[in-house]
Structure 1
Amino acid sequence: MAGEPQRGEARYGPASEESAGRRGLAPFQWLILTTLAGCGGAGFWLQAERTGAVIVVALGAGFLLVAVWRILLVMLSAAPAPPAPDPTVWPRYTVLAALYDEAEVVPLLVSRLARIDYPADRLQGLLLLEAHDHDTIRAALAAPRPPWLELFIIPPGAPQTKPRALNHALERATGELLTVYDAEDEPDPGQLRAAAARFAADDSGRLACLQAPLRIRRLGTDGADPFLDRQFAAEYAALFETALPGLARLGLPFPLGGTSNHFRTAALKAVGGWDSWNVTEDADLGFRLWSRGWRLGMIDRPTRETPPGRLEHWLPQRVRWQKGYMQTWGVHTRRPWRLGLRGAAALLLTVGAGLASAALHGPSLAWIAAATLVAATAGLSPATPFLSLSVLVMGAAAAWLACAIGARRAGVPYGVRDMLAAPAYWSLLSLAFAHAVWRLVREPFAWDKTRHRPDAPAPAAAVDGALDEAAPQRLSAAHVAAPEPVA
């Protein structure tokens, strides 16, 4: 059962009632569902037309509220937090990078981590590798590494997920602060210093995590897709440049990104680390930290990533994200009062609204197109109910505004053509949503791996003298062997 360490499992992980590993509905969720179903059924039985109208009005009002909320976040995100002064003593920092089937990009990742501008004697770095992933292990051994960056082999076990690997590494973390990077990441060299300064300036001691913005760089390989890449970059920009900074300004929780989040290690351990069974462990962790009284923030030093590329790569990644959002929604609505009123509202307006939007984008656009086509064929003007028209206009305007302003801040292209093409991209989200529902039922814990490709030449030599030429031959036996299992 989730939350109870088995042989080969890490000590860290949330309790079963806080984990996606526990399947099925909680009593409170059954109560809400049966109440809604009972009221809806009774309403349709007694006054079907009026009940249907009330549901339509309620949904329309809800989506209008979400649109206004997103515009508000754009406005609030315009005032970034001032930079914090450097601490007198730089805290020890642990850098984790979980890799699986990433032999192609290991040399690039290592060279980018080597550029981190932080006192080397205050750094601990671990490349987390699965024991059976021999190609990636060989590539990591062959890559010149800075002395502070070591390999850490994760013992076999289930589920084979990134959060499970991170939980194993958390047992060995020696830093007061800890950050996580992905295989394709290119973090700003000053990111760790910026985060450490912000943590040191936190007088409350309740700041648990700082999220760095993720920005998409152009994928210079044969896996690129101009339409998907540009829309994906704009979507990232809207999230990390407007929505999350706005939520941070309001002091509300938000779903963390899967990379470039900087933690107080003590806070991370206090909440049990990551949920190994949640395929978007980052989204879950942001709300779990909040439920325990911790707070989240943002820094402005970015990390650059590549987009997933063509549809056959984009779709599995998006399915995993949607499935993980469903898991996160399910976990935190078991006992939503743990989040408090503000935290529950943030969950509804981020995870809940994201799922609802993905579910309805495609069907709504199909309905609009069909109604317009039928009206045109019949020689009639299409019906334009005020509420429906308001939802359409406000929803599109909010999305376009967030993407346009976020793209400008992130330095990614977003013009009129991208705005006109956006509805087609939104419709693809409905395809991913439908697939995610099916996968949640059939394979809830399966991790759809996103393949990463080198988007720049692999480094042939040390970078600025920072790499350790002896590193390819050095691998501590303590890190080759699997950690001792928890009894």
Structure 2
Amino acid sequence: MVKTAKIERPRGAARRSPTLGQVLCWCLVLAVLVAGFVLSAARTVFVLILALQVAFVIAALWRAIVAIASLKRAETAPPPLEWPRYTVLAALHDEAAVTPQLIANLTRLNYPQHRLEGFLVLEAHDHATLAAAEATQKPAWLKVLIAPPGHPLTKPRALNHALTRATGDLVTIYDAEDRPDPEQLRAAAARFAAEPRLGCLQAPLRIKPSRRRVGFLDRQFAFEYAALFEVVLPGMARLGLPFPLGGTSNHVRMEALRAVGGWDAYNVTEDADLGFRLWSKGWTLGVVAQPTQETPPGGIDRWLPQRTRWIKGYMQTWGVHTRRPAGLRGRGLLALVMTLGASIISAAAHAPTLAWLSSAILIGLSAGVRPEAPIGAIAVLTMGIVASWTTCAIGARRAGLRYRWTDMLAAPAYWALLSLAFVHALWRLVMEPHVWDKTPHDRDEDLPDLTASLVMTKAKSGREAA
């Protein structure tokens, strides 16, 4: 008999409207800006640029601090006397092409089979993915679970349904394209056993090099991941700070997850939200070294919706946790500002900043006037760029990637694209705040034989049974 548990919706769900205090705060900011431009537009622009420069300096110093902190690696915990029961969840939607591959990758997990349970959570209308899951040979511990029809149609809603069936002491989440390190579960279980107040562990996500030619977006995406998961998050974990979790390969203590009400079904970055909710309830966060390989999104047609969802979700999470900022306490609020807040502001500022500097120089040159170099702005921008380059270089080295000088020169163009995603995210937040922008995934080119063999094994076992 499957044990069930009722999971309450988080009190700070993204479905709720902004509080009166938040509305008044934004109205005050808008009123000050309007008054400033009416009274003295030039002085207001100067103050805004100065504030942006200060923010860039703080962000650069922050990257330096977390990079230094990340140099100290976590000690390996000894294996527990008894391995805890582990629940593995994967919420799939329109993933028929990669479902056999995911099953193959989950089969490789090196963990006592009798201590494992897993659910492939599918939507009732997704017949293609269901057919692919049923046609593929699965280990005995891995089951297909159909989420009931309902709204919103999001990954966290499906995960919450699986949570009512889960019986594990620990739970982890994987995406359709994931290839986790086989030792990842054992490493996480050992850490949880050694640290009773540890609520969650994040595994590093690494973009798997493709055998085909890798484009500009894929390379920059891989370096961005490397900076985040190999440098920033480990550094924050060493400093004892909360951080936004990745959308996959986070391992959570079931007691802690149930205590905070599961995932927020209305937040399109439920992972980022969960990390701060765990912290607000007194749990700590950490990282493990065993990585999960992922495939890059591909072209701009896939990258833009994915990045739009991330920024939109960051805005939702920011709104949720600034309703009662005292709940995060000083260190938690600092982490919120330096992660989600910095991501939102930088996405909004990259393209305008580059456009302002470029236009100031080009207009002066076209007019035959030698433009006065904005030394302060250039120095601040250079400081921020060098800090980002350094973080990417360190992360790339740890992830086994080559960070070339051409990648460094191409980075500002990638950052400018984030401003496009910001505008799109702002529009989507207003028009469709809880709609999940799905990212299609391609099959891993290195797993054709293993995937095919699982399907053939299923067919063979069916013939033998007949």
TM-score, length-scaled by structure 2: 0.93
CA contact (8 A) 1:143 1:472 kept: no
Where do residues 65-80 of structure 1 align in structure 2 (5 Å cutoff)?
65-80=58-73
* Bigger relative CO (Cα 8 Å, ≥ 6 apart): 1
Unaligned runs of 5+ in 1: 1-9, 475-487
Name the counterpart of 1:103.
96
Q: CA deviation at 1:44?
A: 5.1
Matched residue SS, 1:172: coil
CA distance in 2, matches of 1:300, 1:328: 27
Q: Deviations over 1:54-108 (max 9, x none)?
A: 3332221122111110121111111110111111111010000111111101111
For residue 195 of structure 1, the aligned residue among 175, 188, 192 is 188
Q: CA deviation at 1:351?
A: 0.2
Task: Go from structure 1 to structure 2 and tell me whether the alpha carbon gap of 1:81 and 1:136 turns closer, same or farther (over 3 Å shift).
Answer: same
Structure 1 vs Structure 2 CA RMSD: 2.2
Name the counterpart of 2:322.
333
Q: CA deviation at 1:33?
A: 2.3
Q: Deviations over 1:353-387 (max 9, x none)?
A: 00100111111111222112112223333333343
* Pairing 1:140–2:140 present: no
Task: Go from structure 1 to structure 2 and tell me whether the alpha carbon gap of 1:393 and 1:162 turns closer, same or farther (over 3 Å shift).
Answer: same
CA distance in 2, matches of 1:154, 1:49: 56
Name the counterpart of 1:15.
10
Task: Go from structure 1 to structure 2 and tell me whether the alpha carbon gap of 1:77 and 1:165 turns closer, same or farther (over 3 Å shift).
Answer: same
Name the counterpart of 1:213.
204
Unaligned runs of 5+ in 2: none
CA distance in 2, matches of 1:325, 1:251: 21
Q: How many residues of Structure 1 are paired with residues of Structure 2 in the alignment? A: 457
Name the counterpart of 1:264.
253
Task: Go from structure 1 to structure 2 and tell me whether the alpha carbon gap of 1:472 and 1:299 turns closer, same or farther (over 3 Å shift).
Answer: farther
Matched residue SS, 1:312: helix
Greater than 6 Å deviation, 4+ residue runs: 471-474
Q: Deviations over 1:115-162 (max 9, x none)?
A: 000000000011111111111111001111111111111111001110
**Aligned-partner residue type, residue 7 of structure 2:** Y
CA distance in 2, matches of 1:360, 1:60: 11
* Pairing 1:380–2:374 present: no
Q: CA deviation at 1:264?
A: 0.3
Q: CA deviation at 1:346?
A: 0.7
* Pairing 1:36–2:59 present: no
* Pairing 1:57–2:50 present: yes
Q: Deviations over 1:252-285 (max 9, x none)?
A: 1110000000000010010000000011100011
Q: CA deviation at 1:472?
A: 11
CA distance in 2, matches of 1:412, 1:303: 15
Name the counterpart of 1:460.
452
Task: Go from structure 1 to structure 2 and tell me whether the alpha carbon gap of 1:104 and 1:48 turns closer, same or farther (over 3 Å shift).
Answer: closer
CA distance in 1, matches of 2:416, 2:8: 36
CA contact (8 A) 1:95 1:178 kept: yes
Task: Go from structure 1 to structure 2 and tell me whether the alpha carbon gap of 1:42 and 1:454 turns closer, same or farther (over 3 Å shift).
Answer: closer
* Pairing 1:114–2:107 present: yes
* Pairing 1:156–2:137 present: no
Name the counterpart of 2:346.
357
CA contact (8 A) 1:144 1:471 kept: no
CA contact (8 A) 1:208 1:295 kept: yes
Task: Go from structure 1 to structure 2 and tell me whether the alpha carbon gap of 1:92 and 1:471 turns closer, same or farther (over 3 Å shift).
Answer: farther
CA contact (8 A) 2:99 2:129 kept: yes
CA distance in 2, matches of 1:410, 1:283: 22
Matched residue SS, 2:398: helix
Task: Go from structure 1 to structure 2 and tell me whether the alpha carbon gap of 1:472 and 1:455 turns closer, same or farther (over 3 Å shift).
Answer: farther
For residue 245 of structure 1, the aligned residue among 234, 237, 248 is 234
Name the counterpart of 1:483.
none
Name the counterpart of 2:121.
128
CA contact (8 A) 1:141 1:472 kept: no
CA contact (8 A) 2:10 2:264 kept: no
CA contact (8 A) 1:218 1:229 kept: no
TM-score, length-scaled by structure 1: 0.89
Identity within the alignment, %: 59
Task: Go from structure 1 to structure 2 and tell me whether the alpha carbon gap of 1:470 and 1:196 turns closer, same or farther (over 3 Å shift).
Answer: farther
Matched residue SS, 1:151: strand
Name the counterpart of 1:291.
280
CA contact (8 A) 1:255 1:283 kept: yes
